Amino acid sequence: MKRAINITLDDATYRMAKQIPNFSEWVRNQLRSQRNKLTRTDRYCKHCDTTQHGINKYCVNRVCSEYLMCELEVL
């Protein structure tokens, strides 16, 4: 099902949008890409040597010395 949504652009972003051949498709791809970044990113904690999968920016390994403190490295 296709649904429409209105967005508001300023002059500069309007000109950019006009140069994209299929702007709707481009927006859909941007949204999917954003969703994938939020949900499917593998991150690595160098303190406890674990790869973590999910939306957390910080280590969620409870036995890690940097639990919820260390910012994970995006893989």
Q: Is residue 72 close enough to count as binding Zn ion by CB under 5 A? A: no
Rounded to 5 degrees, φ, ψ at 23 are -65, -40
Among all chains, which residue has been given the structure tokens 């010395």? 65
Q: Which is nearer to Zn ion, 10 or 49 (CB)?
A: 49
Query: How far apart are the C-alpha atoms of 65 and 59, rounded to whole Å?
Result: 9
Interface size with Zn ion, residues (CB under 5 A): 6
Q: Which is nearer to Zn ion, 33 or 51 (CB)?
A: 51
Q: How many residues does the chain have?
A: 75
Q: Is residue 44 close enough to count as binding Zn ion by CB under 5 A? A: no
Residues that bind Zn ion (CB under 5 A): 45, 47-48, 59, 61, 64
